[in-house]
Amino acid sequence: MSDNAGWCLIESDPGVFTGLIRELGVSGAQVEELWSLDTTMFNSIKPVHGLIFLFRWMGQEQVEEPIVNDSRIEKIFFAQQVINNACATQAILSVLFNTCHPDIDLGSTLTEFKEFSQKFDANMKGLALSNSQKIRAVHNSFGRSNSIFEFDDGGKSKSRSDEAFHFVAIVPIDGHLYELDGLKEGPIDLGVISPNTDWVDSAKPFIEKRILQYKEGEVHFNLMAVVSDRKQILQKQLLDLLANENLSEEIKSSEEEKLRAKIVNEEDKMRRYRIENARRKHNYLPLIVEILKLLAKDGKLVPLYERAKAKSLEKEKQKLMN
C-alpha cells in the first residue's frame, strides 16, 4: 500500500502487535493476549505496562468518570483519533508513549515522533499521527495484502455501530489509572491506584464492567497487555539463578531446566509469529487468479460458483427461519 493511501484494518492479534512495535523500532517489549483476569495470569507476564482492550463499539457512551483537563494533561500523551482504522496502533502507542521503564526502548522513530508532538493538543497529536508516513507504512504492512476483496457494499446502509470494533488503552501514570480512548475529548481518570497494590487490580473492575455490557455467550471483546520482552526477563532470571550460591544444586538444576524450557517456548512463539505475519503480508491474489483460470478452462468454475451460491442462499434461509 502506498504512502498516500489511508490506514487499513489490521488483525487484533498479539503476533501482529508484537511484530508492529518491533518494526517501529521498539525493543524490550511485546504484546501478550489475556484469556482471563485471573491474578495468576497477570503474575506470569509481569511487568505489565498497559492494557489494550478491544470491544464492539455500540455508540458513544456516557462517561461516568471525569475527563482530565487540568495540569496532568501535560504529563499524559493523549491523541484523539482523527483517522479510520488506526485505533489499534493508536492504543498501542498510547501505552508505549506513557511508559517509562528501563526494559523498554522506543527507538528513533517513536522517540522523534513523541518529542515532535509532545506539546501539541490532543487533536493535533492525532493529526500528526495520521500524517506520519513511517508509522502508517508499518501499520499498513500488517494489513491483508489482497485488499481487492475488501470493499464497501453501497447497497447497504451502514451505521458506525454496525459491528464496528474499537480499541482503548488502560495505563497507570503517577499513581492514577487512566483510560485513553481516542474518540473521547481527553484521558479518562479511573481513579487513584491503591498504595502497595498491583495497578492491574484497579483496572479489572472497569474491564469487567465493559464485558458485562454484552449478553452471555457473546464474544465481542479482546484483552491484551503490553509487557517487557519475556525472553529477556527469563534470561535475567536464569543468570540470577546460576549466580545464587544459597540454593542446593538439586533445586538450582530443577529451576534451571524450567527456565530454559520457558525460553525455548518464547523463541518458538516468536518464530511462529514471524511465519504468521509473513503469511498475512503475502499477496495470494496471483495464485487465486491462476486457480480460477484453470477451473474455468476445465469448465468447473461456473458449476462451483452455482453450488456455492446455493449453499449461501440456504444458509441465509436457515438464519431467517431461526
101 has catalytic annotation: no
Burial class (CB in 10 A: 0-12, 13-18, 19+), 211: middle
Question: In the block, which residue shows the cell 485471573?
Answer: 38
- Max intra-chain CA distance, the chain: 76
Catalytic, out of 166, 176, 220, 282: 166
Using CA atoms, how far apart are residues 85 and 89, in angstroms rounded to an integer? 9
Catalytic residue among 49, 87, 139, 176: 87
Q: 3-state SS string over the chain?
A: CCCCCCCCCCCCCHHHHHHHHHHCCCECEEEEEECCCCHHHHHCCCCEEEEEEEEEECCCCCCCCCECCCHHHHHCCCCCCCCCCCHHHHHHHHHHHCCCCCCCECHHHHHHHHHHHCCCCHHHHHHHHHCCHHHHHHHHHCCCCCHHHCCCCCCCCCCCCCCEEEEEEEEEECCEEEEECCCCCCCEEEEECCCCCCHHHHHHHHHHHHHCCCCCCCCCEEEEEEEECHHHHHHHHHHHHHHCCCCCHHHHHHHHHHHHHHHHHHHHHHHHHHHHHHHHHCCCHHHHHHHHHHHHHCCCHHHHHHHHHHHHHHHHHHHHHC
Would you call 139 a catalytic residue per the annotation?
no
CA 149: distance to chain centroid?
A: 24
Residues with a catalytic annotation lie at 87, 166
